[in-house]
Structure 1
């Protein structure tokens, strides 16, 4: 019978897929819209004036009563499905993941569409019933279109959360304390510290309304539907998702608080909830925090690190939620108290939306306020005159969820962000007249040249003053968050009186605008740390022990004593070497957060699989050489960047540590291991080049980064400039930008020079590496072109390109691709206004575009002095595997956010990180054109001397293209190549390698 049911479900899915595939062609032909058209709308919505904001959209349509009839769109009713690869047959599932009916799996690069009829005109909430399908563990992102168009900008990016739990490890268990509270017994290392749990996804069916991904709009996003036929299209932006149904329905706003009627029915009841024992969270970033700041935190220890609270800086982004279970023994009216701490953002409140059993009980819980405090505090959620809010709870199990919202700050932040965009626009207009460095003795006649400037200044000042007034109401008149905005307001007042003053204050104006942009970043975060939650009747108040002076003083004295007895270099379990066990020592040089994650992965995955124990130590890698020489070095070192050079030599920007150490027999040649070639296939060939010499490979790549081109969509559209594809296009772009008093951003450095050199077909060294190849005609011409960018085209050589990108001075920049992560996190003021793509290329005779660029990265090495080479090799194979690099990348991102996204060198792991699929496609496109910078004995002299030649040319004779002694770029470079070749010859002689013939390479 079961087999027959499976066959029926299978054939049902096939029939539905066939019908939808047939309907898809007709629907697409009728609409004229393919997936590419929807993607184009999403990529350009921020610069398309036809797409309004949600506020403007609401103003366009009259507010009417909610419709009486809801519109239900079943998954099986879809009329169209299309994927990027041309696949038009969706995957239907019967009774998927235990849910009755038919569901449809929407891929990561797909659009799905429904046709429906609205019987009533009105405002509708859109409710999505979905299941987070396994993917890359990132938030699910979708865009929503009505009748083939974005109704408003906020629907271009809607997030759907996954579900995470911290207690799914088989050795982690929940238990019930004497007072009935649910607690968790965590794993401990052999030093007595509790281990940070590894959050695991626990997918389940969820129902969610649409919300603003920025958090600026607290209520759900609604859609106005006129009576008649419509289509709803959903475009996938990141991660697959299973959809059961969508429902257009009338939204019901929470009503103001009213005290429950009747008697409480319960008295003297206190239900304690340990916050770290949360039942579910929306993010893998939300795991227990180890807090040793106070004796009053439960549990606490002056010596051991305990998982005793949750939240903090990890719980600050709009939409993140934490949920707890609790059981009520007796029906009645209950208040909620929290033992929490909000000492993260001085001068402003933070907000949480509070759900009881999945519903917000009253309007005041839409944005409950948590003011700033310096220490832990017990506070009861209360209304006017500190009267506790009471909630009627039946006997049995309930859930409490707290979600990050911007509350009263939402309107302020949104208005300040709009002001920043206006201020940047004014800055660019003035730049067009004065340039970046106005002549103080010239009259630019700004008022005459920009007749509408005063009106713009008055408008932005009025908007800014409105934001200041709202902030004073929200945070009080003494908030330190007012300073930045008032400084900007004062300067605007000054400039309204006299616009000619711009020539004197342009630099400070730019600084103040940048400060306003940074202000947005600061206040967008809404961190809150919670130790315990109490659900209790109004007649009792929870008691918190350990808050008196004596308890606090004793606790601090114990902490001071413990600080002298703890080895802070050791991370996690420490194993002792013995005859029947293998133990290796690992050095990590990046940071404590990274070391903690690495140790957790080792204890959970590597040691159980191999039986090899690993002692992890967090050290300064500059001590690696000295420690090795003294016999105190590690067995393995990972994430190794350049260390202090041999004999104090200054290293270049590449990573030459492995080759330098390898030539001195300090690190092992990894090619001696039989499976090296198989392991090397995990990486791009370019990643191994800097670590290899003369047939030997002295390291495995840990990370690999390279330049990409970032551009401001809004500014390029404003001045009518296309994104440059070739270097000839770049010259045209620089001319257009210069006319608008803007610049092309490209800081000088080895990666810039290598990009130009490799695209021209040049090389750093001769084939056997015994001499420099930079004296070739190709390399000399490249060096001249490289210098011309900073002499003839006057590109800025020092100022951060990223900062100028934000202000709009440099709407196109070439910089390391990890800048993407920084902009996503630290530049909310330009969110949606920028994109990135491959670097400019050189057009070949066959019509192909060569976008080759250099790369750099961190290395993983095995020290030659190790007594456990096979164990070390096993560790490196495990560490650089796709599975572990993916886990590590996700852990780091969960710990520190998107700015900590790992630039892993493992190609499969890179694809498994939480990149939006279209951004990853651009990244992979450039990755296929990356070339490694080789290392040779004495090679550290190469970039040092090329850089010296560059600055001799660009800073000499008033940047005329000649050095101070009158040398041309060719002459200056050829002088320096003499020293490069001399050092290479000297080092090759030292290591017993054949040297170039006299004059070879000249």
Structure 2
């Protein structure tokens, strides 16, 4: 018996050993390298037609690597040709300077004595404009050297516009960000940060032409220089070239991160953190600005600069208390500048590895010996610039791979369609042998990229897992070509996921609590929170949560105060915080009107108004709400105020059409959006097509597009998730009709124009096979949908989420309907449906509150307020949150490029607002039903829309009768 027990124990032990071995093996395999997968393969070759053309790498490889030794300065005012340029004399310390406007193009003759590669350096100053980075395209001898030379960015300078203010709750409020107009210098470099060093441009010996063309924003140039490419000193050379000084007295200066003096973007302002026990300064009960960086400091090229002072010449150490707790398995890197220069190579990439806690890091070599920086007595600047470091080249390869994978997908798509028959053998390996070769190469490239990422970060993070999945999937396709069609949709989804992974991996977020500059030999404290300090911090935080209102922002006033305006905002906390800050530092001091801002859920408004506990003003309300509240006498008619028309003067009529009812106006516009047409330039060129100007031209293109198994996307009412009627209304407006008659008593979608619009709209799905449900961004990125009609705000999403197709797409006006008048003349009607959000005033009997609320609404609608709110919102949440203000003057000052503004404003002029009427909810519901009936049941469009028009009119009559309104 004992022997059997002993054998059982031994058996259990063996099983445990095997299990442990398997677990360890699995962990080891997570960082195993795939060198055997790609070793010996030539990964530099390209399969014809599948590689990206015009890349910087291709440009470098096409020129001999020759580095001249002399710089070539260019007299910016001695230009050969120039448009929209002006020479300034004695401008801000410069004897001469050249103003280059939004539409400028200037060419200089350059005498190059020695052919070779040069870096192009600009000294410039921004001017007051839209507040975004300036962009220029660079041409050499009339040609764009490589694709990314068409989008060279130059940052602006931002600083705090005042002192930190404390509200009546003891919370600190950050100052507004204001722009500084001063000279700065910058090399022409990769705005994505993949190429860490400045671009190198090849110039032939003799006379050359250098051209700078404005893409966005005016700029004043002081100097342009072709700089000889020089290697930065290493640390040993740097030390050898410094003055010999004796020992300096012990000195330590601490620079708080929140006290930065300059920054490249307004989003890099001071922030507060109450999650850590050892952030300086520290508080669990109040908002205290105590660090900088964060989510906003995430892209290569963004920088923050601090000023400090040392008492005497000598060598100093630099310590950074930073925290990178954003991405496990990632490294955030920064480049150090002292007085505008990188002192030596080793500090071009300072790495901050993932850690949940703050990390006090003295800048040191690989052996842990602190670097010694020579500083003369007096003031200095220290700048930390986000850089991708060694990840830049890896991400560039990964982006190129994503582009080629999309090309592979499109090549197969043309043959099989988006949803191939899984029971059919397409023999893809025989039809497209070059695609199989490309898959083999791409799988090997992805395996190498995975190895490179692991080597750089020390572990295989989840972000690179998609690359492994794709590589394994393509290996399966090579062994079993019949599996391509079975897994085709998954293949496309994995490519999209890889594109998203690139974005995540390119983020290089970092927090900075403080920076210390100390004389060599001075002791730097660890500054690590003890276990007891962390426990005590959590206890205090827990206790504070019962007594502190963390949602209260800014000055809060008692409801008993006379004339207090209660404002509700129903969008989000970030918007509410920005609004309250603006109210406290601008509106209340200027007007004397006290405002309490509350952030609420949109669904709470109706119940609160019915209960008599609602706000005085509510912001960001949907376009369908004001008239519904007006019907029930729950909101104020704003036309009672004499200056109402003056307030409306900055809006198009279409912006407030939905808020008018019975000669009254019940809201002021905030935002306004409408559709534009997005298109892939590369695919249309490949197919030999031009951008359609009318619906007829678009229909004529469909055989070519669909013949290549691609699609055109239009807003779909047939969608089961989010029906979109915008295109039907657009066709209705372009046909010269409307949804309701002039008196809004009945719908007129049953007239001839309405029937034609409905028939045309449903024919897009029934006759031309356009998809009813799709993810536009995903299909547009992959190339499956080279043309699509979508809300113009999608532009910002594409810019942020699809870097692999930058420069390959654009947007323009929606197609027009050709209209023939009585004389036979043909015109193009480009009307487009628009909608938006608004602010409305809840009914009140208090005259003082009514007047104060109107004062607030006027301030909120004015241009300066909308510009500031839009800029601060984009600074906080990124360009994907760009504010779609309805104020025409404010829109011109937001972060759109000049070309984009031109297109959007042209389309905006043709926007038509949708009228809201009593019972209008029935209209949209039954038009959706009519569309689905025609598409799903193949009913006759004319008879269907006529039947539903009767149903809609019955409900309109019923509602008008209920509210005592006249009917036909």
TM above 0.5, one fold? yes
2:391 aligns with: 409
The answer as to 2:644 corresponding to 1:676 is: yes
Tell me, in whole angstroms, the C-alpha distance in 2 between the residues paired with 1:337 and 1:101: 41
| Structure 2 equivalent of residue 42 of structure 1 | none
1:324 Cα deviation after fit: 0.9
1:687 corresponding residue in structure 2: 655
| Superposition map of 1:731-880 within 5 A | 731-748=699-716, 749-845=724-820, 846-865=825-844, 867=846, 868-880=849-861
Give the deviation of 1:479 after TM superposition: 2.4
Measure, in 1, the Cα distance between the counterparts of 2:642 and 2:550. 37
1:86 is aligned to none
Which residue pairs with 2:102 in the alignment? 108
Give matches, 1:598-637, under 5 Å: 598-637=579-618
Aligned to 1:43: none
CA distance, structure 1, for counterparts of residue 837 and residue 845 of structure 2:
21
Name the counterpart of 1:75: 76
Counting only pairs closer than 5 Å after superposition, residues 26-105 of structure 1 correspond to structure 2 as 52-68=54-70, 70-83=71-84, 90-97=85-92, 99-105=93-99
2:955 corresponds in structure 1 to 983
Measure, in 1, the Cα distance between the counterparts of 2:401 and 2:50: 19
User: Is 1:527 the counterpart of 2:509 in the alignment?
Assistant: yes
Distance 1:847 1:770 in 2: 32
d(CA) in 1 for partners of 2:526 and 2:350? 22
Q: Which of 680, 684, 700 is the equivalent residue of 2:668?
A: 700
464-473 or 568-577: which moved more? 568-577
Bigger drift between 283-292 and 495-504 goes to 495-504
Question: 1:227 offset after TM fit, Å?
Answer: 1.3
Number of residue-to-residue matches in the alignment: 903
Cα distance in 1 between the residues matched to 2:353 and 2:233: 24
- Tell me the equivalent position of 1:974: 946
Out of 216, 220, 225, the position equivalent to 1:242 is 220
Check conservation: 2:715, 2:725, Cα contact below 8 A: no
The Cα of 1:788 is off from its aligned counterpart by 1.8
Q: Is 1:710 the counterpart of 2:678 in the alignment? A: yes
Q: Does 2:905 align with 1:924?
A: yes
Secondary structure in 2 aligned to 1:558?
A: helix
Equivalent-residue separation in structure 1 for 2:429 and 2:566 (angstroms): 69
Q: CA, structure 1 residues 231+203, in 2 after alignment: closer, same or farther (shift >3 Å)?
A: same
Please state if 1:216 is matched with 2:198. Answer: no
Q: Among 234, 240, 248, which residue is 1:256 paired with?
A: 234
From 467, 485, 488, give the equivalent of 1:503.
Answer: 485
Q: 1:137 aligns with which of 128, 131, 135?
A: 131
Give the distance between the partners of 1:326 and 1:888, measured in 2 at CA.
Answer: 32
Structure 2 Cα separation of the partners of residues 265 and 491 of structure 1: 63
Change (3 A) 1:195 1:358: same
Structure 2: distance between partners of 1:380 and 1:267: 19
Q: State the Cα distance separating 1:49 from its structure 2 match.
A: 10
SS at match of 1:686: helix
**Stretches of 4+ aligned residues off by more than 4 angstroms:** 47-51, 261-264
SS of alignment partner, residue 835 of structure 2: coil
Q: Give the whole-Å Cα distance in 2 for the aligned partners of 1:546 and 1:486.
A: 38
Aligned equivalent of 1:349: 331
CA contact under 8 A between 1:295 and 1:552: conserved in structure 2?
yes
Which of 292, 297, 309 is residue 274 of structure 2 equivalent to? 292
Partner Cα distance (2:777, 2:765) in 1: 18
- Separation in 2 of the partners of 1:507 and 1:918? 36
Cα offset, 1:896, TM superposition: 1.3
Q: 1:885 aligns with which of 855, 866, 873?
A: 866
Between stretches 690-699 and 865-874, larger displacement belongs to 865-874
* Aligned with 2:965 (options 983, 989, 993): 993
Map 1:308-707 to 2 at 5 A. 308-543=290-525, 545=527, 547-576=529-558, 582-641=563-622, 655-707=623-675
Question: Within 2, Cα distance between the matches of 1:263 and 1:243?
Answer: 39
Q: Distance in 1 between matches of 2:369 and 2:52?
A: 48
Return the offset for 1:283: 0.8
Contact 1:57 1:151 in 2 (8 A): yes
CA offsets per residue over residues 836-865 of structure 1, 9 Å max, x none?
Answer: 001111122333321111011001100112
SS at match of 2:83: strand
Note the alpha carbon deviations across 1:29-49, whole angstroms, 9 max, x for none. xxxxxxxxxxxxxxxxxx999
SS at match of 1:983: helix
**Contact 1:634–1:866 (CA under 8 A) maintained in structure 2:** no
- Unpaired runs of 5+ residues, structure 1, are 1-46, 84-89, 173-185, 642-654, 963-967, 997-1002
1:719 match: 687
Q: Specify the SS of the correspondent of 1:987.
A: helix
Report the CA distance between 1:568 and its aligned residue. 4.5
Of 461-470 and 108-117, deviating more is 461-470
| Alpha-carbon offset, residue 564 of structure 1 | 2.1
Q: 2: CA distance between counterparts of 1:65 and 1:833? A: 32
* Counterpart residue number, 2:887: 906
User: CA contact under 8 A between 2:443 and 2:472: conserved in structure 1?
Assistant: no
Alpha-carbon spacing, 1:831–1:65, altered in 2? closer, same or farther (3 Å): closer
Deviation of 1:759 (Å): 0.9
Q: Tell me how far apart the structure 2 counterparts of residues 545 and 421 of structure 1 sit (CA, whole Å).
A: 46
Q: Distance in 2 between matches of 1:280 and 1:148?
A: 37
CA contact (8 A) 2:616 2:841 kept: yes
Deviation string, structure 1 residues 365-397 (Cα, Å, up to 9, x no partner) = 112111111222212222222222222223222
**Do 1:587 and 1:637's aligned partners in 2 also have CA atoms closer than 8 Å?**
yes
Q: Which runs of 5+ in 2 are unaligned?
A: 1-48, 717-723
Are the equivalent residues in 1 in contact too, given 2:477–2:483 (CA < 8 A)?
yes
What is the Cα deviation at residue 264 of structure 1? 6.6
Q: Distance in 2 between matches of 1:365 and 1:264?
A: 25
The secondary structure found in structure 1 opposite 2:88 is: strand
Which shifted more, 946-955 or 295-304? 946-955
What SS class does the counterpart of residue 832 from structure 2 fall into?
Answer: coil
Change (3 A) 1:260 1:75: closer
Where 1:215 maps in the other structure, the secondary structure is coil
The alpha carbon displacement at 1:563 in A equals 1.8
Give the match for residue 14 of structure 2. Answer: none
Alignment pair present for 1:231 and 2:193: no
Task: Determine the structure 2 residue equivalent to 1:127.
Answer: 121
What root-mean-square deviation, in Å, do the aligned CA atoms of Structure 1 and Structure 2 show?
1.8
Asked if structure 2 preserves the Cα contact closer than 8 Å seen for 1:356 and 1:399, the reply is yes
Q: Tell me the distance in 2 between the aligned counterparts of 1:494 and 1:367.
A: 39
1:565 Cα deviation after fit:
2.1
Residue 156 of structure 1 is matched in structure 2 by 150
Q: In 2, are the aligned partners of 1:296 and 1:547 still within 8 Å (CA)? A: yes
- Counterpart in the other structure of 2:287: 305
- Report the Cα distance in structure 1 between the residues aligned to 2:252 and 2:791, rounded to whole angstroms: 55
Per-residue CA deviation, residues 330-383 of structure 1 (Å, 9 max, x unaligned), is 433322221111111221111111111211111121121111112222122222
Indicate if the aligned counterparts of 2:69 and 2:229 stay in contact, CA closer than 8 A: no
CA distance in 1, matches of 2:258, 2:836: 37
Distance 2:760 2:603 in 1: 36
Instruction: Measure how far apart 1:620 and its partner are.
Output: 0.8
For the residue of structure 2 that corresponds to 1:452, the secondary structure is helix
Q: Distance in 2 between matches of 1:50 and 1:830?
A: 10
Q: C-alpha separation between the residues in 1 aligned to 2:757 and 2:952?
A: 18
Q: Alpha-carbon deviation of 1:545?
A: 4.9
| Residue 192 of structure 2 corresponds to residue 206 of structure 1 | no
Is the CA contact (8 Å cut-off) linking 1:570 and 1:615 kept in structure 2? no
TM-score between both structures, scaled by the size of structure 1: 0.88
